[in-house]
Structure 1
Amino acid sequence: MLEWCRKLRVAAQRETPDDTVARKHLTAIYSRLVIDGGALRDQPPDGPKKITVEKLKPEFRKELDRRIFASANLIKLNREQAIEKTMQRFQGWVTSIPPDGVSEIDRREVKAGVQKSVKDMDFISRRVAIDQGHKLASNVKYLLAVQSGAIALRWHSNWRRPGYKYRQDHKERDEKIYLLRDSWALEQGLIKPVYGFYDEITAAGEEVYCSCDALPIYAPQKLPDEFLTEKGKREFNRA
C-alpha cells in the first residue's frame, strides 16, 4: 500500500497545476495596462497622461510582483490540499477493500474521483489567476487616478451580469460616488461627501472574486450638485 500511495502522490503532483497560468495571466494584464498604455485608455479625457504612467512604473511593477506572490501562495496551498484530499480518499478506499478484492466498477469510481480532484484544482487555479488579475488591474487604475489628481471614484457593480455572484452591499454601492480624502478640491472647500469617502469602504476588487470597478472623477464640475459646497456652487455657477 505504501508503494501505491507513493506512486499516486507523484502522479498527483505531476498532474495538478502550478502557478504558471496565473503568472502568465498577471504579466499579460500588466503589459496591457502599463507597457501598452491600456490604463490610459480606461481614463477620461481630463485624466492622467503617459508621463504619469512612466513615473509610476516602479510602483506598478511592485504591485505585479505582489499579485504573483499572492497567487503562487494560494495555488500552492490549494494544490497541497487537493493532493492530501486525493491521498486520503485513496487510502480510505484501500483499507476498505474486502478479502476477495475489488470489482472493475470500484476501480473506475476511484479513478474518476482522482481525476475530479485534479480537474477541480485546475478550475480553482484559474479562478485564483482571474481574481488576482482583477486586483492587479484595480490597484493599477487606483494608483494612477490618485497620482493624477482624481477627487472621487464612482462605484460600478457588475450585478447585472448573468451568473455573477454579486455581494448585496456592492450592488447597493452601484453608481454611488465616494470622495478621495485629501484631494485638492476637498482642501479648497469646493466639494463635500454625500456617501462618504472611498477609504471607508472595501475597495473595488479587494474582496475575493469581486469584479467591481471604481471609475475616477477629476473635476468638481463632473459631480452632481449635492456634492458641491456653497463655495463650489458659486465657483462653477451652480448657485
Structure 2
Amino acid sequence: MMEDTRSIIETREAINAIGEILAAFLKSGPQYPNHLEDAYADVSKSVHSIIPSSADATARYGRVCKGFLDNVIQVRGMPTRLISGGGESEAQNVSSSGSHVAKLFDTLLPSITERFKWCVENYRSQADIYLDDQIGQLQVILREFLEQVPSGGTKAKAIKSKIAEIKKELRYLVKWDRLFYTYKARSFSTEIEHIFVLTGSPLAAIWQYSDMDAQGEYQKTYNHQQRDGRVYAIRGSWAIEKGLMKVGPNGYLDEIDIPGRELGCMCSLLWLYSISDLPTNMMTEKGVAELKRARAVVTGREAEKPNRAAEPKTRPSELKNWLMRWIGRG
C-alpha cells in the first residue's frame, strides 16, 4: 500500500526536526547533568512517533493472508491466475494443485486455517524482534554521537557527520515494515503448499540451501547452510509402514522448521516419492531386497521383449502395479 503525500511530508519534517535537535546539541554540548539523557529521550520519542508499529504491520500482513486464504478456499487449491483470450480483464483464479487436493480439501481446511492463524502470530512475534533490533542499532549510533559531544559543543567534522548517518538510518527505519514483509511474503503460501504436498505421500525431502539466505542486512539467528543436502523422513509414510525404509540420521521433517518459517529463509525442499531415490542409510534390508527384486523383474522383462513368442509370466497390468508398490508410491 502506497503512502499518501501528506504522510511522506510529515515523515520528512519529523526527520529534519530530529536533525535540528542533534545539531543544537552538537553546537552547545551538554549544558546540565541530565542534558544528554534528555536529548536521547526526546529523539527516541520522536523516532517512535514516525515509524510503523509491529501491530500495524501485522494487521496489514493478516489482511493480505486472509485475501490469499479466501482465494485458496474458492479454488480448493493453490490459486493461479488464468488469463483467457479476453486478457487480464477476464483473468480468473484456478487451482494448480490438481483434483486430488480438491477432493481432500474439506479435510485439509482445518489445518490450513490453523496455519493462517499461526503465520499471523509468528509474523507478530518476529516483527517485534526485528523492529527492536533495528531501533537498537539506531540507538547505539545516537548514543555514540551524544557521548562524543563535549561540553561547550564542537565543530569536529567526524562527529558532525554522525547526524547525517542518523538521519539516513531513520529514513530506512520508517520503511522497516516494507523490508520485513519482503522477508516474510511467501511464508503463508509455503505453509499451505506444504500441506498439499504431503497429501501426495512423499517419503522424504532433501533440504536445498539458498545463497539468498546470506543476503540482506538483518543478522540471521540460524545457519541453514549446514542443512544443505540433508534428507528428512516424512513421518508415517507408506514405506515406513511397510518396513522398506527407516528414519535416517537427520530425523523427521516435522522435527525442524520448514523453509520460509525463519526470518529471511529462502531455502526449499526437493521431495522424494520412490524408495529408489532414498539414500542407503534410510533403507531397511527388506527395502533393499525388494528394490533388487523389482529391478530384476524390470531387467528380465526387457530381456524378453525381442522374443515375441514368449508368454510373459506376469501380465503387464500386474507387473506395473507390483513395481509401483515397491519402487513407486506404494
Same fold? TM cut 0.5 = yes
Matching residue of 1:211 = 266
Which of 70, 78, 96 is matched with 1:38 structurally? 78
- The C-alpha deviation readout for 1:64-99, integer Å capped at 9, x for no partner, is 222222222232233334435544543453354334
> Deviation at 1:63?
1.6
Which of 112, 123, 135 is matched with 1:60 structurally? 112
Counterpart amino acid of residue 237 in structure 2: S
Farther off after superposition, 5-14 or 30-39:
30-39
Matching residue of 1:112 = 165
> Deviation at 1:135?
4.2
State the distance in 2 between where 1:85 and 1:236 align.
Answer: 60
Structure ranking higher on relative contact order (CA contacts 8 Å, 6+ apart): 1
Q: How is 1:10-49 mapped onto 2 (pairs within 5 angstroms)? A: 10-19=45-54, 20-21=56-57, 24-25=60-61, 28=64, 31=68, 34-35=72-73, 37-38=77-78, 41=96, 48-49=100-101
Counterpart amino acid of residue 49 in structure 1: V
Query: Aligned pair count?
Result: 226
> Deviation at 1:12?
0.8
Q: Which structure would you say has the larger Rg?
A: 2
> Deviation at 1:62?
2.2
Contact 1:158 / 1:212 at 8 angstroms: preserved in 2?
A: yes
| Paired-residue identity, % | 12
- The C-alpha deviation readout for 1:134-156, integer Å capped at 9, x for no partner, is 4433432333333x251323325
Distance change (3 Å), C-alpha of 1:118 and 1:135: same
Contact 2:233 / 2:252 at 8 angstroms: preserved in 1?
A: yes
Which of 206, 227, 236 is matched with 1:155 structurally? 206
Distance change (3 Å), C-alpha of 1:14 and 1:138: same
Which of 179, 182, 190 is matched with 2:236 structurally? 182
- When normalised by structure 1's length, the TM-score is 0.67
Which of 228, 236, 239 is matched with 2:323 structurally? 236
Contact 2:204 / 2:234 at 8 angstroms: preserved in 1?
A: yes
State the distance in 1 between where 2:202 and 2:265 align.
Answer: 23
Unaligned runs of 5+ in 2: 1-34, 80-94, 215-222, 295-321
Distance change (3 Å), C-alpha of 1:186 and 1:117: same
Distance change (3 Å), C-alpha of 1:149 and 1:99: closer
Distance change (3 Å), C-alpha of 1:84 and 1:62: same
> Deviation at 1:61?
2.4
CA-based RMSD of the aligned residues comes to 4.1
Unaligned runs of 5+ in 1: none
- The C-alpha deviation readout for 1:18-40, integer Å capped at 9, x for no partner, is 33456545654661783453276
Distance change (3 Å), C-alpha of 1:114 and 1:73: farther
Matching residue of 2:125 = 73
Contact 1:34 / 1:53 at 8 angstroms: preserved in 2?
A: no
Contact 1:186 / 1:192 at 8 angstroms: preserved in 2?
A: yes
Distance change (3 Å), C-alpha of 1:102 and 1:215: same
State the distance in 2 between where 1:223 and 1:84 align.
Answer: 51
Counterpart amino acid of residue 152 in structure 1: L
Contact 1:86 / 1:114 at 8 angstroms: preserved in 2?
A: no
Say if 2:255 is the partner of 1:170. no
- The C-alpha deviation readout for 1:95-126, integer Å capped at 9, x for no partner, is 54334423384445224224315526845x55
